[in-house]
Amino acid sequence: MRNLLSITDLSMEEIKELLKEAEYFSKGGIWIPKQQTFAVNMFYEPSTRTKSSFDVAEKKLGIEVIPFDVNFSSVSKGESLYDTVKLFEVIGANITVIRHPKDRYYDSLIGKINIPIINGGDGCGQHPTQSLLDLFTIQQEFGGFKDLQVAIIGDISHSRVARSNKDALSKLGANVVFSGPEEWFDESFLNTGDYVNIDRAVEESDVVMLLRIQNERHHHTSSMSAEEYHLKYGLTLERESRMKRNSIIMHPAPVNRNVEIADELVEAKRSRIFKQMENGVFVRMAVLKQILECGGN
């Protein structure tokens, strides 16, 4: 694997191999690169989980992390993404993780940058390592994906998590359904699953995955209040009481408590939200290992 830009670049076998490696790391497995290795995590959009868990994953693998804060860098003087990544390449970075608000920002780098790129999220495009950690969490719970029903609920059209997960879950044999405000549904998702009403989605699914409202990507402010959204499209305590007995709650986070999910449910027995965050480190260790092991080829 040269880069990890989109979950759609991975075959079913490659996904399964990465999940196997993640499991190895989750059980205390050790791997370190043969030579001194530097990584730079370049986040042009805010992040807590993805950036911190890449930092931890890199340090656990013995990789030196080059500090980079976009707000205190020459990006504020107008330096382009290409020039910034090229700089890190020439001063010795061996791998980079990039999050950027522009969909497919990496098109301007591929073929010109000689170090591997891991996509930490591009606009409304893809978030492949989030998808892998979601898959790992589901596999831990159910042992596989075949015939599981996964409901992805909320701001579908602006969500790179929804876009990555629908492709990966369908490839692995799960049935995906979508729910949430119809105005935030994207018809291009229909090739992987149906749009259903929230009550049906919650009652029939094995995995109920809520999404944050991506206000930063909306061109118009919604007239709906947080309370109204919660009652119409959120996982309320009442809706949770109608979930299947062994079904689980997931959310990529950050969570808006009492909007897409009731405050009390974030750490409920069936919630795997903090487990997802924990698993993020193991999955990112697996991705870094695979890319570095094959020399980025």
Cβ 245 to ligand CP, closest distance in Å? 28
For residue 130, say whether it is annotated as part of any ligand binding site.
yes
Q: Which is nearer to ligand CP, 120 or 175 (CB)?
A: 120
Site size for ligand CP (CB under 6 A): 9
- CA–CA dist 158, 169 (Å, integer): 18
Q: What are the phi and psi torsion angles at 43 (to 5°)?
A: -110, 105
Q: Could you tell me which stretch among 15-23, 177-185, 251-259, 286-294 binds ligand CP (CB under 6 A)?
A: 251-259
For residue 217, say whether it is annotated as part of any ligand binding site.
no
Number of other residues whose CB lies within 10 A of the CB of residue 43: 19
**19 contact partners, CB below 8 Å, separation of at least 6:** 132, 135, 136, 139, 283, 286
For residue 254, say whether it is annotated as part of any ligand binding site.
yes
For residue 127, say whether it is annotated as part of any ligand binding site.
yes
49 is a contact residue toward ligand CP (CB under 6 A): yes
Residue 4, token pair as written in the block? 């990890």
Among 11, 36, 48, 215, binds ligand CP (CB under 6 A): 48
125 is a contact residue toward ligand CP (CB under 6 A): no
Only one residue has tokens 């009550």, namely: 199
254 is a contact residue toward ligand CP (CB under 6 A): yes
Q: Which residues of 175-206 are buried (b: 16+ CB within 10 A; e: fewer)?
A: bbbbbbbeebbeeebeebbebbebeebbebbb
Cβ 144 to ligand CP, closest distance in Å? 24
Q: Could you tell me which stretch among 74-82, 199-207, 219-227, 252-260 binds ligand CP (CB under 6 A)?
A: 252-260
130 is a contact residue toward ligand CP (CB under 6 A): yes
Residue 81, token pair as written in the block? 């993404």
Q: Which is nearer to ligand CP, 47 or 108 (CB)?
A: 47
Among 16, 23, 24, 47, binds ligand CP (CB under 6 A): 47
Among 125, 180, 234, 252, binds ligand CP (CB under 6 A): 252
Say if CB 247 and CB 270 are below 8 A apart.
yes
Question: What letter would DSSP give residue 62?
Answer: T
214 is a contact residue toward ligand CP (CB under 6 A): no
Q: Which is nearer to ligand CP, 50 or 192 (CB)?
A: 50
SS (H, E, C) 210-269: ECCCCHHHCCCCCCCCHHHHHHHHCECHHHHCCCCCCCEEECCCCCCECCCECHHHCCCC
Q: Is 88 helix (H, G, I), strand (E, B) or coil?
A: helix
217 is a contact residue toward ligand CP (CB under 6 A): no
Annotated binding site for L-aspartate, which residues? 77, 160, 212
Applying CB under 6 A, the residues found at the interface with ligand CP are 47-50, 121, 130, 252-254
Annotated binding site for carbamoyl phosphate, which residues? 49-50, 99, 127, 130, 253-254
